Structure 1
Amino acid sequence: MIVSLDIQQTCTNILPEVSAALVSNAPDLTVDSIMALNQWCTGLSTYQISQTEGAVLKNALSVLSAVIGWNQDQAIMIIQKLLLSGVYQIYDVKRLQDLGSLIIGVSSSVITSIPNNFVLGAVQSPSFLANVKTAPVIIQQTIVSQMDKQKFLKTFIRGLRKSGISEMKIINMMSMVKESSKSLRFKRATECTVGQIMQVQIYSDSFPFNYDVTQFNVCLSVQTLKFNLEAITDKVYDRDFQRIILNKLNQAYPDGIPDEVLQVLGSSSRAAMPDDVKKWSVTKIDTLSSLMNSRNGDWDHQMVQLIISKYLSVSGNFLGTNELNSIRGSNLCALNASVLNNITAASVEQAAALSLNAVQRRRGFCSVSLRMHSVQ
């Protein structure tokens, strides 16, 4: 498939979802193609990013760090590729600031490993502060905890005011400072120091806010998670915490996470990587429906394809009316040509997810997706 490097110009005057479809079908990424995509890099899937060499991402960092609109999963994947491949290390203030908008993908454990003076120097940059403002609360809190109170008040708060952040946001930040001295004592702990997570803690109003990432990991046993999974996933929305949940479930079910567990994962399912999904047991339509529920967040198209392929790999399973209604929305446009060709006209006609209005709204998106599939 030939995709023009001039994607930015090509995608300027079409719907954002169509642009995303075009980008999602781009070939292997190079520095030149990333530079051509520029702000349209937000259309890249985590799967595409995961297949890109760390050196390519490093050489294109000046573009990637300036992209506005990354979701956290994309940023996490880029940061992981950079750090784990060894091509990028945060050894000074500039290296931290150079991450730009990707700061939202830096885990709290990585931040705590960065020398305090680097963090203190970085927060004096208005642009760095603006990017921190878009990061999850746990990242903001970890950054705050890396500084003592006096230095925080003199630099971080002053910088926040200069960058135009609201007073309420600053008040919340200052509240974090009061708590940072507590959390800092166990940031690098390998033992549970704040109390094992049991049923009584899970149903407490303060759960999981009284645990940082490290303590959540060491204080939550696999057994407790298995017996209280739905209650925990109903309360946990932080991606680092959700990743811990998935890691522990992989320990609990080494042969693959079964249907009944997948059905109660909720938004924690969106912390999964392709290798996780490949081991899932998606055999029931209730599981498919739960995983495709848009209230739990969006999926990359490659992840949709993986999940649906797991469902279709089960003897007797096919995409009928009920399945189409479960997949619904733009997820339907992730289906490849071979899958689409096996859907009967009757199933399409009876599917509520493919009502006339819905089809009209997504006609451009789906037609582009289908054309791209047809030429691969």
Structure 2
Amino acid sequence: MENPTFSIQDIPPTLLCYAVAELDFSTLSPNLTNSTLQSLKSCGANQLAGLLSSFTTITSETLVSLGSLAVGLSPSVLENINGSILKENLQSLSTINNWSATQASIIVSKCKVQSDKQINADTLKQLGSLVIGVQSAEIKTLKSDDILSLANNSILTGYMEKAPIVLKKQFVQGIIQATSKTKKTIFQVVPAELASEIPVSNLLDSNLNVSEINQMKWTSSQVLPITNQAQCKSYFTRVGQANIDLLPQGSPKRNTLLSNAKSCLNINSNIITKDNLVILGSLVCDLTDKEIISSDSYVLDALKICSSFTDSQKVAIVTKLKAQYGAPSKWTLSNMKQIGSLSSALDSEIMKTINKSVMIKFFPGLLSVLRVQHKTTFTSVITQLKNSSRIAARDSLTCEEKLTTDSITKQMDLIVARYSAAQLNICTSNETLLNNLNILGSLAFDDDQLKVFKGILDMRLPGGVPNEYLIQLGNIARVYSEKEIRSWNITSVDTLATLIQSASWQSNDSKINEMVYRYLQLNSPNATFDGTLLTVLAPYICSLNQTLIQNITSGALRNSSQSLEVSTCNQNIKNILFDKMKLGYSSVNSTSNAYFQIMSPVIGGARFSDLINFGKGFPEMDLSTFTTLNPNEVKTLSVENIKDLLGSNVLDINTISSSSVLQVWVASKTQMEVNSLGVNATAGIKSPVPNGVTSGVGVPHCTLYLLLVCIMASLLYMDNDFL
């Protein structure tokens, strides 16, 4: 702080949360740190995330003061805490929810160093929520009685459900082995929430009891081989209650689910009864247009849970709606409320026929829900509404309805569709814009509409945008030029954060680079790339140029509480960020799971040797992460190297056959190697021809010592000509 006599104790408790960004615990005494923490608890974990990274020394008293907020401590901070302190506070730490596997692994590892006790049921129960940080190999050392005791502990198994896949798998395998020594079935012992880890082979060998398996959480690959016609209805009822959007629409797995459900329910035509629609649940989202039209009218209610529709489905839904409610021009507000989210299936031609007052009363509520829950559908509906407004108004240059605070509050997102840029220009007064800048800046206007607001602000504020309006710009900030941004008075990280987080920036928008540069310029030498700033910039790191990227320190990367989003970065930037992260975590075992989890967000910059090193820890890399790797580094990996990285996920390798990383690898390998990995593709390198055999078309040519083999080959060759 600029005033050396000013103390943090002089800040009233009610204002302390607003000063979080200016606090630095590294300068406070332990007693003052703890008392300040008590006052800051009401601020919430999100607001304190950046602040918690400034801790240099964590004492037992600090952890007590933090309480549940300790979950906000970054892995790098946890690494620096003395193991004895963590062990001393294990009882309270074990009751905190939402630890990541990385955090839990660090805490468990450091506590273990402080104890010479062998792991058993009691020690695992004491870990509570931290059990997800236990190494899977340690589960193998448990006695049968211990593993059965743990399986019967609902609190621990609840935590175990959130554990890394390898740990869950080993835990369930241990339960199965222990169960074989009892008179119980695995369905009576394996916790319902962990049933997905039971191998199908164990299910086939078991005596099935519907009442036992009905409440367990199964995957389709488990249940389809073991269920009969009666049992499958219960299974698909549970599938229908799940979030089908976790699988991409049109994906083989999603299509298979619906196909199997139809077989189970004996659905052999386009006509689906209400009872079967109820069982299908979310699976109705993949019904064809013919099935929608032919099915029971309940299909309209069933389809309301769907996040989006294909064009053919939309046509079928509209046909069904007209049959039930009549012509759209006659639809009332009550009808629209009954139609609800299905209104996303309406095109602009239909929307223009709906009564205007009904539209104004209905769509603001729908749009506010869609904007949060289904952004793609929100964009689609806005587009149709815009088109319908243009059809109806033909971009009239007269203002039928001035924008007022009242109309803005009531219509919200609908304003985006109802007013073209030209209409906004004549319907928006200076006073209305300034009084409602925060709301209008938050709406999804296109750039042409936003430029109208900017033009009004330019006339109203010829000297530039003052700070009090700067933080209210929202999406309007997107249409300012880089030159104009260089004149903004971005004097605090709070202002910078608001400008970035309140607008819908592209992840690689160069204007963010200008804002960051301006902030650093105005606040030099005090402003640096610390953990707080990097937390704000993490989703937009690719917007920064190489000069700014080079200024990011390894320490800042360690202290950031947000993972970097590097998907749109060029390869050079990915490499730089990976190297900086690697340096920042050089003290962590490079083959440990904790290290892999820490490095995963920037793994696109990993070199060949790094990938080999990751593989030594058998990380079970998911396929989506694999596709982010540098193809030029992956192509030098052997089949075994890739299997070490992917683990059991290699079985689904063909689902990413179109990815550049796999295509480049296939192009650099022989057919034998490609086949060995299980990839259904043609290799780029022809397999070498054995000595003594020359390639060519027609009957094979051989040297004398292969004569007998060649005779047989020739006979087979000639024989094939007559088949």
Question: Whose radius of gyration is greater, 1 or 2?
Answer: 2
Tell me the TM-score normalised to structure 1 length. 0.45
Relative contact order higher in (CA < 8 Å, ≥ 6 apart): 1
